[in-house]
A and B are shown apart, each in its own frame.
Chain A
Amino acid sequence: MRSPALLALEDGSVFRGRAFGATGESFGEAVFNTAMSGYQEVLTDPSYAGQIVAMTSPHQGNYGTNDLDPESGRVRVAGLAVREASRRASSWRAERTLAEELSASGVVGIEGIDTRRLTLRLRERGAMRCGVSTEDLEPASLVERVRSIPGMEGADLARTVTTGEPFEAAELVGPASTLAGKVFRVAAYDFGMKRTILRLLAAAGCEITVLPAQTPASDVLGGGFDGVFLSNGPGDPAATRYGIEAAQALLGEVPVFGICLGHQLLGLALGGRTYKMKFGHRGANQPVKDLRTGRVEITSHNHGFAVDPGSLGDRVELTHRNLNDGTLEGLRCRDVPAFGVQFHPEAAPGPHDSRSLFGEFRALMGAA
């Protein structure tokens, strides 16, 4: 039998399971993700920094992990909670098992817990502070320590995951495609950017320079870029001041496209307000309606904050809405070329229904 592990929530709930991956302990915000495949993309998505992710789908690790699917250079979640981690990686694409992947990244995992109970707890009481430990197996003590960590509200985490230096995306994902004609030069603010976004921008004919999160807008405006991309990323958007300021300065000067945190920063720059959701949206099955066409797209989500649609003025057109709970999922400026979506059109993991948005960005740059 593998060694025991304990997961504790700030409300005092505890879950006993077995350790897998690295030993030790880890604290963060507990969230659940309902995607049935794509755990490797989830683990490596920098937006999950500071979070302990529970996967609702019971079997994880079935097809192992490989070198092609990660969304960033390493595992980013603070911890992983699953019902069962497969001991065998069965896929022609597999390089190692899930447990090996976590161990190599020094990330703590817990398996064998009633993840549905955990999910229902988070649904009812909202995302909570959480700890996973293979060392402190004493419930009272772990709960106590969980209660002492800071929450996600007010947390500026993008600075912890962004690139240290600017770099050309071509190094990572190959050159921009020329199939669509003209190649556009795009500056991408990296608040925790997923690689698939870079891939799809490149495929849409964008030559991308990836910039650190705190790059001043003035640097960009002098750089001869055709457009600016604001990436996804972790943390509270309202606490990401530098991002909001950059967005404000860029609006109207150059076409802007934001995804997830990038969308929230855009909303804040436009004078809107963001709020923390009870437990957020994380999964690959969320229905989003494109209010302009009436079409429903099944989309990939990972966000705990959202833009309050009532806080946005007439300057902004609301373009996408979540059909499950009405959350604002997309907006567009009426007066300047800028738009953003709360969900992840790049998917990875998840359905490809909304990939045409990268083409829209291209069209916006072409028209500017």
Chain B
Amino acid sequence: MPRRTDIERILVIGSGPIVIGQACEFDYSGTQACKVLRSEGFHVSLVNSNPATIMTDPEFADRTYIEPLTPESVLGVIRREKPDVILPTLGGQTGLNVAVALAESGELDRLGVGLIGASLEAIHRAEDRSGFKRAMIEAGLPVPIAGIAHEVDEALAVAAEVGYPVIVRPSFMLGGGGSGFAHDPDALRTLAARSLADGPAHEVLVEESVAGWKEFELEVMRDGADNAVIICSIENVDPMGVHTGDSITVAPQQTLTDREYQDMRDAALACIRAIGVETGGSNIQFAVNPRDGRQVLIEMNPRVSRSSALASKATGFPIAKIAALLAVGYRLDEITNDITGETPAAFEPTLDYVVVKIPRFAFEKFSEADPTLTTTMKSVGEVMAIGRTFKEALGKAWRSMERDGFDLGWMGPPARDASAEAPAGLLELLRIPSERRLHLVELALVEGDSVDDIAAASGIDAWFVDQIAEVVEEARSLEARPLETLSAEELFEAKRLGSSDRRIGELTGASEGEVRARRTALGITPVYKTVDTCGGEFPARTPYHYSAYEEESEVRPAERPRVVILGAGPNRIGQGIEFDYACVHAAYALRDAGYEAVMVNSSPETVSTDYDTSSRLYFEPLSAEDVLAICEVEEPTGVIVQLGGQTPLELAPMLEAAGFPVLGTRPEAIDLAEDRGKFAALCAELQIPAPPHGEARDLEEAREAASRIGYPVVVRPSYVLGGRAMEIVYGEDELERFVRTAAEASPDHPVLIDRFLEGAIELDVDAVSDGTDVFVGAVMEHIEEAGVHSGDSSCAIPPATLSDDELDEVERITSALARRLEVRGLMNLQLAVKDERIWVLEANPRASRTVPFVSKATGVPLAKVATLVLLGRTIEELVAEGVLPVDPTHYRHLPYTCVKAAVLPFGRFPGVDTVLGPEMRSTGEVMGIDADSGSALAKALVAAGATLPAAGTVFVSVANRDKRAIALPARRLSEMGFRLLATRGTAGVLRRAGIPVTAVDKVSEGTPNVADLIRGGKIDLVINTPFGRGPRTDGYHIRTAAAQAGIPCITTLPGVMAALRGIEALRTAPEEPVSIQEYHDLAEVGEVRM
């Protein structure tokens, strides 16, 4: 059954912004799918709202629409593109849900558009939890006992039958949203009410709890001829009850006998057949009772998933690519396994190594959030590490986390602190799963608890606990022994157990460098093995490597000069997909320029770790030890550190010291820009205005500095990304607390204090410099005022309100700074416009979060340009070759507007205040593009999930300073027919301005109050600018209620103005969507206007 000939045009739906539970793994899968479908000669149209993705680059589809992923807007794309079929199984839950909504509404039938990959019926059977149960029971497959409920009373009745504790899970939800355990009817009542309200289907499954059982996942592929294979088994180290997305997981499974495993395999194949997923990949989850081996099916995802991305990276089998080929008619045995180049894709990969995934959390950014790990996913990223044993892989995975105290892993100080807080003992603490659980396991072992007791308390299989015990014993044998007394065998053994040089140094009282020196002198260096899908049975063609302490290395000599690209490591808030985007472009550019691109990265979710992206891939931690070892083997002509965010920048000095040249901007320049004291001096020297600056090592110094600078001030730690622990302080009384938090976030460095430019317009600039010429990609004007972190605020290209003179001045400053810092490559600048002056907030001599947005908006491939500059090309040459536009102010004249908006994870963290501030908390971003700037804004807001109402009730409550300014937008809302509610103070102001408004009570004024109205669904939009922070204020109650109810809540005045324009745009009929390729053509035409 070869490729289908009855289809020509395919629409691929992406997954939208990065949110918790759905990250850039879907860029990886979508990019693979688009590439392979186009190479098969299909016309591919793509819709995705996320500009930071590789897949939305114009060359990956014939037509790319950066539009919101709502049924309405996707329908617009379908009407225009007239695809024969939609491939809905590669865009995560979001893509699937949109396709389902369109199919259900009958629109697809009317337009004659089919679904490939999975039929509507199959999707329903899998996603609708009750349908799934029924299908499984009919197929004779074991499932936990459960019932479906649409009302709270029904839920109680089901629970009475099933028996407590129960777990409640809504249908069609992502990453365990809305789920939880209830141990009694009272708890169930609250939980069920919330889950019913949360889920799109208003339906929940009430199920027997199997918390504490072992959890497994199988990745299954099936083709149209009913051939089905298991690509990978994944065992969760954490028991049932911790979402798989938050669990530490291992591939392949380690603790099932072959009989048990084959039973599970049989059930998985029966499941995919019963659900009727025709072609493609599915993820199936199982729970196994550790006491008697009873197995039950938990769920199946009839699509490519987070786990399938992990499985692809873990095995070398590209699930998404193969799924796309199967969807267009190929059979598994007609597709070649890329890695061997000889054998077919119809087989089951076998691993001769162990893969460990560890999720990365961001609880420090959400102080009010509950850090317990539950059935609702909370992690924001993950690392994967490969080792020859579980211990080796685990040690590497901790290093990959890039967290102090975590990378050391075993016996690190954080675990010690945690135990000090545990009066009930470590075993008690282990019953509650948390981010630190394995550190606690280790500590309990050190304290003498038995493997069995630890396993019983934590629900972690004794095999894993015992593996950790081996590492603990090893550490004991080294502790307090001078480094020189360790034999080569002992050192080799320690490395084989995954211990880092730092860790060995800590144990033996030596520095990391001393351990490395001693180790190298003894000839103990890692070798590199190959991920080959077949356990060595066939030669591998793809150089996909991991390090191990073994005897034989498999790195082949290179034919061309090599450049190492250091990736961005795990996704985290502040350093995510945008940096991976730049690294991927660098790899493409290097290959085109005749180099071997050597990629080093540790995040399995990324496009950069697709073995297809680079010439050689090293799936390794981005720690000094591991990166140096790779450089020693590859002997690169240069290392690129400026594209992967903060992570590689920190390695730059070490690389240079070891004799590996860093390409582009010197490490000293990086330091000059990062060190705010030095940077302030530099600005003064260039006569560029910068906010008055001071530094303090204690509270006294802080008081002095702040009063010298003048309040309000911004307080922050040095050397952090994403505005970590940054606060705006209005007076001396608030200073103390903030200074303390800042000092904790970066204890070795002084606390930084700057004048806060209140009410300023913030700008972002991305530019490339070759050392002589500077090309400004774009100046972006923020919608929110300075004070909202640039990562959380919305911004527009072209800048909305700045004059050409102001932009000229911004460009002048950019060039001056780039020259002074001797930037070669990318630079990002943040500025503020206030009182007719332009101030520099910071300069980052590296790629920024906005590089992909700028590239999407202007059509200029900034990351590629930067890479070429790093290789010695000049801006002048690139202009002459047409890579860069002739018009240096190209971005100002785009005949359309692009708006970037941030997506925030507040829905995941009940109780966390949603006010935006200088600490970044968004997980992802979307883009709206339109000829009309209001529509561009509206699209961005809709794409970000803040579905603006076109009519209804608006609640307004603003701080005193905003009371005057709110009248204008309020009047406009009223004129458009919205009903206005307000708290007493705001209501008085509005009434005096002649605007009809009803006053409602604040939470502090009794019930029913505004929070009740929000919860009751009586309000469609909340406008609330903060006055005072903290969990007890009225504003806090209003905002958290809105976040929980999923009602848009705007917390800044410029945001209100923007929303207003968006609402106005919404009320007019939407225009036909236009593809990014067409926009870019328009942009070129715009070039004639100089």
Q: Which residues of A contact B (CB under 8 A)?
A: 15, 32, 34-38, 40-41, 56-59, 62-63, 66, 68-69, 83-84, 86-88, 90-93, 114-117, 119-120, 123, 283-287, 289, 294-296, 298, 323-325, 347-352
Contact = CB atoms under 8 A, between A and B. Distances in A.
A114 B550 contact: yes
B229 A58 contact: no
B536 interface: yes
B333 A296 contact: yes
A284 B351 CA distance: 12
Contact of B291 (A92, A347, A349, A351): A92
B537 interface: yes
Given A116-B529, A298-B347, A352-B262, A57 B291 contact: no
B536 A37 contact: no
A40 B350 CA distance: 18
B860 interface: no
Contact of A324 (B266, B354, B389, B538): B538
B211 to A, nearest CB: 18
A323 B536 contact: no
B994 to A, nearest CB: 75
Given A63-B255, A88-B462, A323 B350 contact: no
B498 to A, nearest CB: 13
A351 B551 CA distance: 33
Nearest to A39: B258
Contacts of A56: 350, 352, 535-537
A206 B254 CA distance: 36
Nearest to B553: A117
B261 A34 contact: no
Nearest to A61: B463
B257 A66 contact: yes
Contacts of A115: 352
A41 B254 CA distance: 16
B731 interface: no
Given A37-B256, A92-B291, 10 more contacts: A32-B536, A56-B352, A56-B536, A69-B257, A88-B463, A117-B551, A120-B536, A294-B225, A296-B332, A324-B342
Given A88-B462, A90-B463, A289-B333, A296 B350 contact: no
Contact of A59 (B227, B349, B390, B535): B390
Contacts of A15: 551
B257 A34 contact: no
A349 B333 contact: no
A283 B537 contact: yes
B348 A351 contact: yes
Interface centre among A35, A38, A90 (most CB of B within 10 A): A90
B653 to A, nearest CB: 35
Given A34-B537, A57-B535, A324-B538, A117 B348 contact: no
A57 B350 contact: yes
Contact of A83 (B265, B348, B388): B388
Interface string B267-302: 000000000000000000000001111000000000
Contacts of A116: 352, 388, 529, 536, 550, 552
B390 A34 contact: no
Contacts, number: 161
A68 B26 CA distance: 43
A114 B536 contact: no
A114 B352 CA distance: 11
Which 10 A-B residue pairings sit nearest by Cβ, starting from the closest? A38-B258, A90-B463, A56-B535, A349-B258, A34-B535, A117-B552, A119-B536, A285-B348, A114-B551, A37-B258
Contact of B353 (A35, A58, A90, A287): A58
Given A90-B463, A287-B333, A83 B389 contact: yes
Nearest to B223: A296
Contacts of A86: 463, 466
Interface string B1052-1068: 00000000000000000
A90 B258 contact: no
A38 B257 CA distance: 6
B229 A298 contact: yes
B62 interface: no
Interface in B339-384: 342-344, 346-354
A84 B534 contact: no
Interface string B572-609: 00000000000000000000000000000000000000
Contacts of A298: 229, 347-348
A63 B257 CA distance: 6
Contact of A295 (B227, B258, B466): B227
B461 interface: yes
Contact of B351 (A32, A36, A287, A324): A36
Contacts of A348: 258-259
B466 A324 contact: no
B159 interface: no
B347 A41 contact: no
A53 to B, nearest CB: 13
Contact of A287 (B265, B347, B536): B347
27 contacts: A15-B551, A32-B537, A34-B537, A41-B258, A56-B350, A57-B351, A57-B352, A57-B535, A58-B388, A63-B257, A83-B388, A91-B255, A115-B352, A116-B388, A119-B535, A119-B537, A120-B554, A123-B538, A283-B537, A287-B343, A296-B227, A296-B332, A296-B333, A323-B333, A324-B538, A348-B258, A350-B258
B226 interface: yes
B210 to A, nearest CB: 16
Contact of A92 (B254, B292, B466, B538): B292
Nearest to A93: B257
Contacts of A289: 333
Given A37-B257, A296-B333, A88 B536 contact: no
Contacts of A32: 535-537
A174 to B, nearest CB: 17
Given A59-B390, A287-B344, A88 B466 contact: yes
A348 B534 CA distance: 20
B255 A35 contact: no
B462 A324 contact: no
Nearest to A119: B536
A93 B346 contact: no
Given A83-B389, A324-B343, A351 B265 contact: yes
B451 interface: yes
A83 B262 CA distance: 24
Interface string B224-240: 01110100010000000
A58 B389 contact: yes
Interface string B518-546: 00000000000100001111110000000
B252 interface: yes
Nearest to A86: B463
A41 to B, nearest CB: 6
A84 to B, nearest CB: 5
Nearest to B262: A352
A119 B537 CA distance: 8
Contacts of A119: 352, 535-537
Interface string B243-261: 0000000001111111111
Contacts of B346: 287, 296, 323
B256 A350 contact: no
B226 to A, nearest CB: 7
A227 B342 CA distance: 40
A212 B321 CA distance: 52
A93 B417 CA distance: 38
B392 to A, nearest CB: 9
B178 to A, nearest CB: 34
Nearest to B490: A1
Contact of A285 (B253, B349, B461, B552): B349
A120 B552 contact: yes
Contacts of A91: 255-257
Given A91-B257, A119-B352, A323-B333, A286 B347 contact: yes
A93 B293 contact: yes
Interface string B993-1016: 000000000000000000000000
